[in-house]
Structure 1
Amino acid sequence: MRRRLAALLCCLLCLTGCATLAPPYETPAPASSSHWPAGAAYPTLADNAGPLAMHLPLGQVFPDQRLQQLLSLAIANNRDLRQAVIAIEQSRAQFQIEGAALLPQVDAEAQGYRERRPADLSGTGQSRITSEYRAGLGVSAYELDLFGRIRSLRDQALQTYLATEEARRAVHIGLVAEVASAWLTLAADQEHLRLARETLTSQEASYRLIQSRYDAGISSALDLHQAQTSVDNARIDIARYSRLVAQDQNALTLLVGSAIPANLLPEGLQDIRIAISEPAIGLPSQVLLQRPDILQAEHQLRAAYANIGAARAAFFPSIHLLGSFGSASAELTDLFQAGSLAWSFTPQISVPIFDAQRNRLRLRVAETERDLLLARYDKAIQTAFREVADALAAFGTLDTQLQAQRSLVDATANSYNLSQARYQQGIDSYLNVLDSQRALYRAQQELISTELGRQLNRTSLYRALGGGWYTSEPS
């Protein structure tokens, strides 16, 4: 009898290793073009169908030591990243819980029972005291996973855990890009503030000169008032950029999650470079499918497939095993004596007959969720393709724009110097000087903004490519 029971248990346990009822998963075809866009706005890219591209180390992308230290502080203290790490631990624990359900839960049990029954209930006409003591091992409600329901739930928890890990990577990459962008923006606004202060100093000197000329009757009141407008505009810009610098520092402090040492703050854009050169990034299918947000969407899609398997298994019978093995005796002193062996085995089977279509509706919900996540997966790939394409378009044009802007600054500076000389010689009015000065100031401001855009583009490309600058390996 015992051998037959053990053989039956072994067979049932072997059946629990069968495949699940989840539909077979196939990676969807990327919902984007197979090649990056080409044209006048884009750099020349060599498609490489060889091994997947590799990331550059973070220190090579952002070589500035101050920025590297700031990034380390942000990674250690940022609250969003901390929440993502905690979410990973939660998902890991949930996966372990679902996996543990595949194995029986064995508990050590000990219990005592003592009862007095009155004479009219004892069956013997006399009152009676009965006792029972038990000790042993017990299995409570172990489900035989014949149709893969528990395995499907475990697979769903596993994919959810993996999706959470990719979400952490996405938060990490986004944090690095945001800190670098905020740091660069602070540097640019400090550069704007420095330019505004230099302009104010120059305009105040010009105003004093015109004031003296006006007092001597050489310059007109119009010239004096026009000079005053230049001074006031410079003061306005100083106030504006002082405010922006303070707000940039506040935003950077929030991202870093702690106070920022003064020696880690930038002084301007002149000495900052993001070390990214001409990209060689391979085919879209090589790059996009390695982005953490795309991998997260795929793991969520896999979890939905596993959930369909669990919903399908609910249509089939479920078998639960309850049992115990140990000793029992009417006297506590005889509990572990010879002949006190006691065991029980209680299999239970449940077959769904009428559930008001609950199982069918749960399956429909699971299938709809799969379709929804598939659409999100396609949208995530399309969005990623657009982000990379936009960053490449900026990469291919900003260098040319920066060169032209530098040339424009030189030309307007020469024009300003000539207009000043002509005014001092009495050839032109001060209005021409004022127009030239404003043109030079705007060109200098635009040069700072263009340089910032160029640096931010490198940071955006780092983020769009999934956290690294891709270089194709030789096949």
Structure 2
Amino acid sequence: MKKLSALTAALVLAGCSQMPQYERPAAPVPGAFPYPSAQEGTPAIDLRWEQYFTDARLRSLIASALRNNRDLRIAVLNIAQARAQYDIRNADKYPTVAFNASAARQPSFINNAPQQTTLYQANLAFSAWELDFFGRIASLSESALQQFLATEEGRNAAQMSLVANVAATWLNLAADEELLALTEQTLQTRAQSMDLMKLRFEQGVSSEIDFRLAQSLYETARASLAQFQRQRAIDLNTLALLVGEPMDPRFEVQVTTASVDLPDVPAGLPSEVLVRRPDVQQAEHLLMSANADIGAARAAFFPRITLTAGVGTASADLGGLFKGSAWGYTVIPSLAQTVFDAGRNRANLAATEVSRDIAVAQYERAIQQAFREVADALAGRATYSEQVRAQAAVVDAESVRFRLAGLRYQNGVASTLDLLDAQRSLFSAQQDLVRVRLGRLQNQVQLYRSLGGGWNP
């Protein structure tokens, strides 16, 4: 007993986790973003989506998407599955105790006389419970825990993208409605111009060239109207998929790209902002899981100590099964050490170390991707405002040009070509202004998402 106690104490003292100490890799990105941002305000990752998007109809759509979107539902189910896997691994730390009861009746001979012997047994036992002196089970449990936490962050990342996609599609619909209204107005104007040119051509006042040019512009507007109607239907279908429920074909956003106002958010420092993004945290948990797998692979080189034990009773009389001195117990410790495995354990350790290196690279890539997304959005914020102002000035100039061309045409100073060209240029400039405003708003949504906004429950 003294030798056994000494051996057990030595094993306990020697036993320790073989898991490498985790250290977060340095972020492979610059210490600051390349474009200036707002210095004050609530960081995007702390700004709930209800606070960022103030339009009631948009907030209702986002809330419906969070309830019904199937991709998000799959992400939630993945969490439940990963939690169950962790519970399975964690249960390996504890013995599985089973209760067994049996009754056996068999013939026997006493003094050459046949007899019937009955034996009743009941016992409580566990078998092959591994004593985790070297941290193999603890490492596997830690790996499963990090996998579970990674799926939680994956769900948060999915929500972050879903909120941004719903907002971007909603903005697309706003632009679609603007372009449709603009095209319908332009179509009416061009129809009037075409009718006028046709009348002048039939009366011999103008040439057929003028009439055909007006007809071409009218048909071009008709083609644009069909294109924008198709695009609106596609965007509405996309919104229905994101929201997870059918959308009324008559649904209207009831806002314009000029009326939507989204708050500005500070970018902060990459080292503080990017590591809090759910997708980056997901990559880090996967890295920590791979790190824990190394501990399990290292522990495979050490002896595996298991314990089988039980306590029970036996009696020839059922009534006396739990009486008297028929109780007994067994304790059977065992130790198994691999002597030869053709390099299997060493290869398994090498594989886990490579998996950890892959996870490091994936974590670093996640940070680099996040940095690029923020930098792109900041570049857009630095330039979109000036582009919107410049394009608005183009629309103003083309509006004045179209008005003056109409006056000159009525007074016989300008040609039909001048009038129709001014009309075409104004329509093109107005479309470009809607698209630039849409780009600016979508860039703001992208900046909010890239800074980690939108995943808060």
- What is the match of residue 99 of structure 2? 108
Q: Distance in 2 between matches of 1:52 and 1:181?
A: 20
Moved more, 459-468 or 51-60: 51-60
- What is the match of residue 36 of structure 2? 43
- What is the match of residue 416 of structure 1? 402
Q: Distance in 1 between matches of 2:38 and 2:296?
A: 46
The 1:72/1:223 distance shift into structure 2, 3 A limit, reads: same
- Which of residues 419, 444, 447 is equivalent to 1:458? 444
Moved more, 372-381 or 331-340: 331-340
Q: Share of identical aligned residues, percent?
A: 43
1:385 aligns with 2:382: no
Query: 1:286 is matched by which residue type in structure 2?
Result: E
Indicate conservation of the 8 Å contact 1:61/1:274, yes or no. no
Q: Distance in 1 between matches of 2:339 and 2:300?
A: 11
SS in 2 for 1:289: helix
- What is the match of residue 88 of structure 2? 97
What is the root-mean-square deviation in Å for CA atoms of aligned residues?
Answer: 2.8
Q: Distance in 1 between matches of 2:259 and 2:81?
A: 40
Q: Distance in 1 between matches of 2:202 and 2:345?
A: 95
- Which of residues 16, 28, 33 is equivalent to 1:31? 28
- Residues 286-365 of structure 1: pairs in structure 2 closer than 5 A: 286-365=272-351
Q: Distance in 1 between matches of 2:358 and 2:40?
A: 32
Deviation readout 1:81-133 (Å, 9 max, x if unpaired): 0000001011111112211211122222212233347x8xx9x9886654432
SS in 1 for 2:393: helix
- Which of residues 212, 224, 234 is equivalent to 2:199? 212
Indicate conservation of the 8 Å contact 1:16/1:148, yes or no. no
Q: TM-score, normalised by structure 2?
A: 0.93
CA deviation after TM superposition for structure 1 residue 330, in Å: 2.9
Query: 1:96 is matched by which residue type in structure 2?
Result: D
Query: 1:193 is matched by which residue type in structure 2?
Result: L
CA deviation after TM superposition for structure 1 residue 400, in Å: 0.8
CA deviation after TM superposition for structure 1 residue 364, in Å: 0.7
- What is the match of residue 472 of structure 1? none
- Residues 121-200 of structure 1: pairs in structure 2 closer than 5 A: 129-200=116-187
The 1:396/1:271 distance shift into structure 2, 3 A limit, reads: closer
Indicate conservation of the 8 Å contact 1:16/1:147, yes or no. no
- What is the match of residue 427 of structure 1? 413
Indicate conservation of the 8 Å contact 2:104/2:118, yes or no. yes
The 1:15/1:132 distance shift into structure 2, 3 A limit, reads: farther
1:259 aligns with 2:246: yes
SS in 1 for 2:119: strand
Indicate conservation of the 8 Å contact 2:143/2:290, yes or no. yes
* Count of aligned positions: 454
Unpaired runs of 5+ residues, structure 1, are: 470-475
CA deviation after TM superposition for structure 1 residue 20, in Å: 1.3
Deviation readout 1:426-457 (Å, 9 max, x if unpaired): 22221111211111111001001001101100
After TM superposition, what 4+ stretches of structure 1 lie above 4 angstroms from structure 2? Answer: 44-48, 51-54, 124-130, 261-264
Q: TM-score, normalised by structure 1?
A: 0.89
Query: 2:387 is matched by which residue type in structure 1?
Result: Q
Unpaired runs of 5+ residues, structure 2, are: none
1:245 aligns with 2:238: no
Indicate conservation of the 8 Å contact 2:46/2:453, yes or no. yes
